[in-house]
Amino acid sequence: MATPIIEFHNVNKFFGDFQALKNINFTLDQGKFYSLLGPSGSGKTTILRTIAGFNTVTSGEVLFQGKPQNDVPANKRRVNTIFQNYALFPHLNVFDNVAFGLSIRHVAKAEIETRVMDTLKMVRLQELANREINELSGGQQQRVAIARAIINEPELLLLDEPLSALDKKLRQDMQYELRELQQRLGITFVFVTHDQEEALAMSDEIFVMDAGEILQSGTPVDIYDEPINHFVADFIGESNIVKGTMIKDYEVEFVGKRFECADAGMRPNEPVEIVLRPEDLDVTTPDKGKLVVQVDSQLFRGDHFEVVAYDADHNEWLIHSTNPVEEDKDIGLFFEPEDIHVMRFNEKEADFDARLETYEGE
């Protein structure tokens, strides 16, 4: 297998007394789209700035294509960044912003001209080459930032919440464009975001971070379906989380009832948390439901109704229903055994993966 493009070995970073990164280990492969997902202050931007070379690490090792990078300054790294607010140079026009990296390296004028125009064409800005930066709309500035970064043909492109300043419609369009761009260029993207929808939509692999640690990594589907703990389940998508007890393998108890489930490998009668996704809950009549809840309120979300209901134990349940329900009425909820996801308390990613190994092969 080819050398990984980036490796972090036991990386720690302190800002004064504050530990921003806690023993980070990961490997990024060539040509994939990675997301670092977490709330602000979780350390995702610190990782990005470490890869870019704006931060040094307190301890540990960062490798780029197998070579140590700890002492390589930012301007010598074959990595480019798209900044959160684009950081376009306000004193240069579109053309000169995109040409900046090439002209720094004293590339011949004629070559700069053709390469800049080619890159601008790629981001569909060729007609705006002579515009000033403050004459552009937000979406156009975003494209300039992309063009300015990719023209240097980096091995790795870092994106620091680049879509956060755009409105919703534009943000969705840009998600497609970025994904397509990454596939066309074939280089590695590392995308930092606090928006789980963005991360799920675009990534090959997601790293979920909190408080300086990587909690879980995996494909979007893995992370969505098998969140490792309460934090990940809550952060990724919407979920109903209730306390329960793992009676034995494939049998779990919550809200005073026992259910068949698809999880195993835990101690008998171990206290656990149960995740049920709102879209996995089907509304039915009270007598047919596995659970009975009372409707509190509902909102029409366009493609579905979002229903809030409470069970007898006063747990709140969020349900995505295709049909409207009547408020204050009891309804039944139906779900399949594999819709139930059981999470142990304080389980680390390695243990989680090992436990899954023991019974998933069966």
Partner 1 sequence: MQKKNKLGRLYLVFVFLVLYLPIAYLIYFSFSTGSTMNTFKQFTWANYQTLFADTRLIQIVLQTLLLALLSSLIATIVGTMGALGIAATKRQANRNLMLSLNNILMVSPDVIIGASFLILFTMLGISLGFGSVLASHIAFSIPIVVLMVLPRIQEMDHALIDAAYDLGASGPQVLNRVILPFITPGIVAGYFMAFTYSLDDFAVTFFVTGNGFATLSVEIYSRARQGISLEINALSALMFLFALVLVLVYFFIQLHQTNRQRRNKEKAGGAAK
Q: What does the alpha-carbon distance between residue 76 and residue 238 come to, in Å, rounded to a whole number?
A: 42
Residues 303-322 that bind partner 1 (CB under 8 A): none
Q: What does the alpha-carbon distance between residue 91 and residue 27 come to, in Å, rounded to a whole number?
A: 38
Query: Cβ 166 to partner 1, closest distance in Å?
Result: 11
The answer to whether residues 318 and 307 touch, using CB atoms and an 8 Å cutoff, is yes
Which lies closer to partner 1 via its Cβ, residue 5 or residue 228? 5
* CA-to-CA dists, residue 182 to 120, 179, 202, angstroms: 16, 5, 10
Which residue is associated with the tokens 């969705």? 172
Query: Cβ 105 to partner 1, closest distance in Å?
Result: 6
The answer to whether residues 198 and 316 touch, using CB atoms and an 8 Å cutoff, is no
Residues 77-136 that bind partner 1 (CB under 8 A): 79-81, 83-85, 87-92, 100-101, 104-105, 131-132, 134-136
The single residue among 75, 114, 322, 323 that binds partner 1, judged by CB under 8 A, is: 75
Name 159's bridge partners.
Answer: 82, 191
Query: Cβ 137 to partner 1, closest distance in Å?
Result: 4
3-state secondary structure of 83: coil
Which lies closer to partner 1 via its Cβ, residue 173 or residue 330? 173
Which lies closer to partner 1 via its Cβ, residue 83 or residue 250? 83
Residue 293 sits in the site that holds partner 1 (CB under 8 A): no
Element (H, E) at 316: strand 316-321
Residue 197 sits in the site that holds partner 1 (CB under 8 A): no
Query: Cβ 96 to partner 1, closest distance in Å?
Result: 10
Residue 171 sits in the site that holds partner 1 (CB under 8 A): no
Residues 137-166 that bind partner 1 (CB under 8 A): 137, 139-140, 148-149, 152
Which lies closer to partner 1 via its Cβ, residue 135 or residue 180? 135
Q: What does the alpha-carbon distance between residue 261 and residue 278 come to, in Å, rounded to a whole number?
A: 17
Which lies closer to partner 1 via its Cβ, residue 75 or residue 114? 75
* Count, residues near partner 1 per rule CB under 8 A: 34
Which lies closer to partner 1 via its Cβ, residue 188 or residue 321? 188
Which lies closer to partner 1 via its Cβ, residue 76 or residue 348? 76
Query: Cβ 54 to partner 1, closest distance in Å?
Result: 5
Tokens of 155: 């091995």
Query: Cβ 42 to partner 1, closest distance in Å?
Result: 20
Residue 317: CB partners within 8 Å, gap ≥ 6? Answer: 240, 281, 291, 293, 308, 309, 310, 311, 333
Supply the Cα-derived Rg of the chain in whole angstroms: 24
The DSSP code for 347 is -
Report phi then psi at 56, rounded to 5. -100, 160
Query: Cβ 192 to partner 1, closest distance in Å?
Result: 13
The answer to whether residues 260 and 251 touch, using CB atoms and an 8 Å cutoff, is yes
Query: Cβ 32 to partner 1, closest distance in Å?
Result: 21
Which lies closer to partner 1 via its Cβ, residue 191 or residue 235? 191
Query: Cβ 233 to partner 1, closest distance in Å?
Result: 34
For residues 173, 117, 140, 122, the Cα torsion angle rounded to the nearest 10 degrees is: 0
Of 38, 49, 65, nearest in space to 11 by CA: 49
User: How many helical (H) and strand (E) elements, i.e. helices and strands, does the chain have?
Assistant: 9, 20
Residue 173 sits in the site that holds partner 1 (CB under 8 A): no
Residue 26 sits in the site that holds partner 1 (CB under 8 A): no
**Binding site residues, partner 1, CB under 8 A:** 52-54, 73-76, 79-81, 83-85, 87-92, 100-101, 104-105, 131-132, 134-137, 139-140, 148-149, 152
